[in-house]
A and B are shown apart, each in its own frame.
Chain A
Amino acid sequence: MSMLNLRFTIGFLVCLAAVAFTLPAPAQESPYIVTYDHYLEEPGSLEVEYFSTFGTQRQGNDFHAFWMEFEYGATAWWTTEAYFDGQTTFNDSTIFTGFRFENRFRILQREHFINPVLYIEYEQTSGADKILKEVEGHDVEADYAVPNGIARKEHDHELESKLLLSKTFRGWNVAENTIATKNLTGGNPWEFGYAIGASRPLALKASAHRCNLCRENFIAGVEMYGGLGDRYSFGLRDTSHYLAPVLAWNMPSDWTLRLSPGFGLNDNSHRFLLRWGVSREFSSFGDTINRWLGGRKP
């Protein structure tokens, strides 16, 4: 790591710690990085998220992929989100790799034994995209060994749908996502994938006093995700799979920090993925927009 990067990282962590220990009031965000549960963004809230994935690469250079998410609660049953992706491949280059536009719709009004949410996403990315936000079809490690100069020439327009099923019981959240993706360029078949996760806060009761490091502010869990082949070759053959412990710290003032070391489960998978993310929720964003648009005054 260069001196500049080291200074930047230390400075960033110091600022983060300063914010964490000086301001009150944590949010309650899920620890998952790949899996979705059934909880949508609160109406009018904007969550700005930065995520980072460091991945090891056999027969190629390791990489650091990153993305920004802007997640907005349009209503209590609809959350809309835009992503902007990029990556640095070591000894190669840093490039912007595309954008995604995602919508999640809560299907049932109330809580049920299982709570379904419909997820629809359009993505326009290049072949050099490495954020591994989902693994589907026959995605394998070797696909990511192509140099950026060649990979970025491939343009993908994908329609991705997911059925998110989730349940919270006695503090445990269990979520399962079924993924179906269609690349709209060329005659590619539908591809499939999955993600499952389970998590629980370290304490279920809140403390009577405000605190930063209380156990209820931490949520730990595990997620597993991978591809399931495509329409013509459904199954586990030539697919990659990952298992990743996850930890979220719901920090003061609506900041959340997530950390997840992921491990490849077969020879087609990257050996190691280290993911982390930081997010901040702006709960009065909708009100601000409302004022700009000339809405009701409080």
Chain B
Amino acid sequence: MTSQPIRYRLRISGALVLAVVSTLSFAQKGKYDPNRKDVYAELEKAPKKAATRSNPLDHDPDAAAAGANLYDQHCAECHGEFAEGGRKGPSLRADPVHQATPGTLFWILTNGVVRRGMPVWSKLPEPQRWQLISYLKSLNPEPKPSE
């Protein structure tokens, strides 16, 4: 016969296991879907004031190299090693990103797209976010299908 404390502990353990499995399952429900047409729609939402900001590190020769290191550390996991897009994040070489102003990209980086799975990156100091933008702007755009 199972004693009362053991039954209680089993119940608690069962509830914990259930909570963990539910959490993991919930977390894996698709957040980013590459087939959605509005993958880049968030770029349009940047306020005008933010979008018109220029990159203060535009003339810093080391900015893109530092940005490349930061990209490897924080972005490549989702957006792919060469920013070509990954399972969790869209391509950052695509036309909408390439056409976006530095200010717009900075705004997206700062605020994230939380409901689609992109965290806010304001924990990176502002100069590091601009270094990332310098790197993204240094990338060649991905070729169009007809090319």
> Does B117 belong to the interface (CB within 8 Å)?
yes
- Proximity string of chain A (85-111) to chain B, C-beta cutoff 8 Å, 1 when within and 0 when not: 000000000000000010000100111
Q: Tally B residues with Cβ within 8 Å of A.
A: 44
Q: Which of B52-101 contact A (CB under 8 A)?
A: 62, 65-67, 69-70, 72-74, 77, 86-88
- Proximity string of chain A (60-83) to chain B, C-beta cutoff 8 Å, 1 when within and 0 when not: 000000000000111111001010
> Does A27 belong to the interface (CB within 8 Å)?
yes
C-alpha gap A110/B112 in the complex (Å): 7
C-alpha gap A295/B118 in the complex (Å): 19
Q: Tell me the dominant secondary structure on chain B's binding face.
A: helix
- Proximity string of chain A (23-40) to chain B, C-beta cutoff 8 Å, 1 when within and 0 when not: 011111010000001011
Q: Give the 9 A-B residue pairs with the shortest CB-CB distance, closest first.
A: A208-B62, A204-B125, A208-B65, A110-B111, A74-B27, A206-B66, A171-B125, A205-B127, A76-B114
Can you name 17 extra interface pairs (CB under 8 A) apart from A25-B73, A170-B126, A207-B66? A76-B114, A76-B117, A76-B119, A76-B120, A77-B115, A82-B16, A101-B16, A101-B19, A109-B114, A110-B120, A168-B122, A204-B128, A205-B125, A206-B70, A208-B65, A287-B87, A293-B24
Q: Which residues of A contact B (CB under 8 A)?
A: 24-28, 30, 37, 39-40, 42-44, 72-77, 80, 82, 101, 106, 109-111, 124, 168, 170-171, 173, 201, 204-210, 216, 283-284, 286-287, 289-290, 293, 295-296, 298
Q: Which residues of B contact A (CB under 8 A)?
A: 12, 16, 19-20, 23-28, 30-31, 62, 65-67, 69-70, 72-74, 77, 86-88, 110-120, 122-128, 131
